[in-house]
Amino acid sequence: MLDISVAFPYFSSDVIEAILADVAQMLRSGQLTDGPFCREFECEFAAYNNARYAVAVNSGSAALDVVLRHFELQGREVIVPTNTFVSTPNSVLFAGGKPVFVDINPDTLCIDIEEVKRKTTPRTVGVIVVHIAGLICPQIEELREFCQEKDLFLLEDSAHAHGASLNGQKAGTFGDVGCFSFYPTKVMTSCEGGMILTNDSELAERARCIRSCGQDANRQMVMLGDNWRLSEPAAIVGLHQLEHLDEFLQKRNQIAKGYEKALESVEGISLFRTPPNIWHSYYKYPIRLTERVDRKKAAMMLKEKFKIETGHIYDPPCHLHPYYREAHGTRMGDMPSAERVLKQVMCLPMHYQITQQNIQYITEALAHTIRTP
């Protein structure tokens, strides 16, 4: 029986050897954090994305925390899509702000811009857009124009979207700042880590200060911060992964095309289509099951009978997590599109080592599962 995981980091034998050589060099140097590999990683990541500055931190959550500290929320509101990992709204709270959840566009799973407009008030200071599954929000340019008109900051949570682009422009460069995660399941990884991407020199300088306990280049504490630095071993892994990011994206897009072709004839599902002007990073490959299919039961059967692991995209949505229901009074019915659609979304295995044979097997197993009463 096959055993197919939903996500898996990829390192070729040559890359593993190169990483080990760099780790040995780092260990001999004695500089285990905040060193030359981290600085090189920042420079290379900025260059890859055609951005002026990149600031490395120790997680995607830390990237959000640092950036939102920079914006000094203090009781003001930040609009957040309910379809995201809880780190996104949590970071608003940690920075002293109030997250205001908005619904999703059911065709893209990304933020609904009309909901953003409806929920913007004089207390709103910014908007966080999440590029779900690696799809740059197709309305990002309209959203940017709206934020500029209302004098709101626009933060791109690009944790899923390394290397993705719209009309040739990379994720994380449309708004004021982009935040990336390098968690092991992501398109590229540094084991644990994150990156802040911006063209704003003041934001970059303050981010470097905040990530180092509020200390400036002279080691004087000038603002409140915390230890969010990226270690040198993590930077080494990230550098080698970045070197192969385009290769990873090509492979993921090939896998997506394979799924699309194989799934077209399978009844009981619908596919999410990518606009032709978007280069998708396919962190996940989501499909939508019909309402008659119980996703949780289908996922259990695929795992137990066929040894295929599947996932979902943030079900329940953030506003239905117990903490937010109890502390912020959110409830069922607040975000009808997210509540209806997300429970129907299943994510199929997507990583570098998925083969055409795997795609065929997964598709046949899925079709059998959907047909089973």
Judge whether 4 lies within some domain. no
Q: Which residue has the tokens 């600085």?
A: 39
Q: How high is the pLDDT of residue 1?
A: 47
Identity at 90, one-letter amino acid code: N
pLDDT tens, 232-246? Answer: 999 999 999 999 999
pLDDT tens, 249-292? Answer: 999 999 999 999 999 989 999 999 999 999 999 999 999 999 99
Of the three residues 243, 262, 294, the one that is the final residue of a domain is: 243
CA distance 296 to 292: 12
Judge whether 301 lies within some domain. yes
Which structural domain, as residue segments, surrounds residue 355?
245-371
**358 and 345 inside one domain:** yes
Give every CB contact of residue 79 below 8 A, 6+ residues apart in sequence. Answer: 99, 100, 102, 116, 119, 120, 124, 126, 127, 128
The CATH number of whichever domain residue 297 belongs to comes to: 3.90.1150.10
Residue 27 vs residues 21, 31, 223, 234: alpha-carbon distances, Å: 10, 7, 32, 13
**69 and 218 inside one domain:** yes
Of the three residues 243, 262, 296, the one that is the final residue of a domain is: 243
**312, two tokens:** 């979902």
Helices (H) and strands (E) in the chain, counts: 13, 13
Stretch 73-93: mean pLDDT: 97
**158 and 296 inside one domain:** no
CB contact at 8 A, 128 and 81:
yes
Stretch 6-22: mean pLDDT: 98
Mean pLDDT of the chain: 97
At 153 the three-state DSSP class reads strand
pLDDT of 2 higher than 80: no
Q: What percent of the chain has pLDDT over 70?
A: 99
Stretch 356-368: mean pLDDT: 97
pTM of the model: 0.96
pLDDT of 212 higher than 50: yes
Judge whether 337 lies within some domain. yes
Stretch 330-343: mean pLDDT: 97
CA distance 308 to 314: 19
**257 and 182 inside one domain:** no
How many distinct structural domains can be found in the chain?
2
pLDDT tens, 131-164? Answer: 999 999 999 999 999 999 999 999 999 999 999 9
pLDDT tens, 322-334? Answer: 999 999 999 999 9
**73 and 144 inside one domain:** yes
CB neighbour class for 75 (10 Å; exposed up to 12, middle 13-18, buried from 19): exposed
Of the three residues 226, 243, 260, the one that is the final residue of a domain is: 243
pLDDT tens, 297-329? Answer: 999 999 999 999 999 999 999 999 999 999 999
Q: If you count them, how many residues does the chain have?
A: 373
Q: How crowded is residue 367: how many other Cβ atoms within 10 Å of its Cβ?
A: 17
Judge whether 169 lies within some domain. yes
Q: How high is the pLDDT of residue 147?
A: 98
Judge whether 8 lies within some domain. no
> Which backbone phi and psi does 78 adopt, to 5 degrees?
-125, 130
pLDDT of 62 higher than 90: yes
